[in-house]
Amino acid sequence: MSALILDGKALAAQCEQQLSERVASLKDKSAGKTPILATILVGADPASATYVKMKGNACRRIGMDSLAVEMADDTSTEQLLSKINELNNNPDVHGILLQHPVPGQIDERACFDAIALEKDVDGVTCLGFGRMAMGEEAYGCATPKGIMRLLEHYSIALEGMHAVVVGRSPILGKPMAAMLLEANATVTICHSRTRNLPALIKQADLVVGAVGRPEFIKAAWVKDGAVVIDAGYHPGGVGDIELQPLKERCAAYTPVPGGVGPMTINTLIFQSVASAEKTLG
């Protein structure tokens, strides 16, 4: 069996060309105004700084702007909330990204939920999650929404599939399950403490690895012909799924790297442009 490679890097590049055209059109309609994504980085975590830089670069590639807000490691919850409120009230800012994680003294959930719904382009607020889960308009969490866009592009028919999501984080596993359910898949949510996990994964037509542990999901647990989505990335270039032995057995898979990661950033930019179109267009 020759598996279909779900190439997120190629799709993201294709989408960037389309987004560049939409941004250029917005500028024409709004006397040169540009969509702006505000990124908030609290502290000096190197990985977080790299992620924020990548998101800023993606903005510039399509002709939109990013507003980089950097705050000290000892920032308080109140100071961060004040900054978010300032950005909420800035009409030139169309999307707000608070880079996760923030330093331990900060109430991260309170700060996420302070982001205005119309600017929650990373899909991290409880309100946005609730609306999405109810089938109402909201921006989806960037990683699971990116996965859904990838599956749609490659015409993976989700209706009637048994999807097993391994992971239950509020910004990946839980919204992923809700999106798949909305697409008429039958969804089982598992995690690292699930009993008989290999047996449950063996039932899956679609496996989503979102547990945050390198190669935690073994190839032997996945049945032949399944669609394999690996949302993890760890040192050594491995994901959450033991992928190499599956490449000749599965129907389709996301490579690591180059699968889910590029679509996460692209979805953040995609939703920022959509937000700007509502305001400027």
pLDDT attached to residue 281: 72
Proportion of the chain above pLDDT 70, given as a percent: 100
Would you say 15 and 266 are in contact if contact means Cβ atoms under 8 Å apart?
yes
Dist CA 172 CA 143 (whole Å) = 6
- Report how far apart the first and last C-alpha atoms of the chain are (Å, whole number): 47
Dist CA 164 CA 185 (whole Å) = 10
Residue 252 backbone phi and psi in degrees, to 5 = -160, 155
**Residues ≥6 apart with Cβ < 8 Å to 13:** none
Residue 1: pLDDT over 80: no
Dist CA 165 CA 221 (whole Å) = 13
Overall residue count recorded for the chain in this entry: 281
Q: Is the dihedral of CA 191, 196, 197, 200 positive or negative?
A: negative
Residue 23: pLDDT over 80: yes
Beta bridge partners of 164: 188, 207
Q: 142-262: same fold as 30-120? A: yes
Q: Write the CATH number of the domain with boundaries 142-262.
A: 3.40.50.720
pLDDT attached to residue 181: 97
Would you say 173 and 231 are in contact if contact means Cβ atoms under 8 Å apart?
no
Task: For residue 144, give Cα distances in angstroms to 27, 30, 118, 237, 264.
Answer: 30, 32, 19, 20, 8
pLDDT attached to residue 99: 96
Residue 22: pLDDT over 70: yes
Enumerate the active-site residues: 55, 99, 122
What is the per-residue pLDDT across 26-83, written as a single tens digit (0 to 9) for each?
A: 999 999 999 999 999 999 899 999 999 999 999 999 999 999 999 999 999 999 999 9
CB atoms within 10 A of CB 95: 30
Average confidence score pLDDT of the chain:
96
Would you say the pTM of this structure is higher than 0.85? yes
User: In the chain, where are the structural domains located?
Assistant: 30-120, 142-262
Residue 2 confidence class, pLDDT cut points 50, 70, 90? confident
Task: For residue 123, give Cα distances in angstroms to 32, 137, 213, 260.
Answer: 27, 11, 23, 16
Dist CA 180 CA 233 (whole Å) = 22
Q: What angle do CA 263, 269, 275 make, to 5 degrees?
A: 135
Q: Which CATH architecture has domain 30-120?
A: 3-Layer(aba) Sandwich (3.40)
Section 179-194 average pLDDT = 97
Section 116-142 average pLDDT = 96
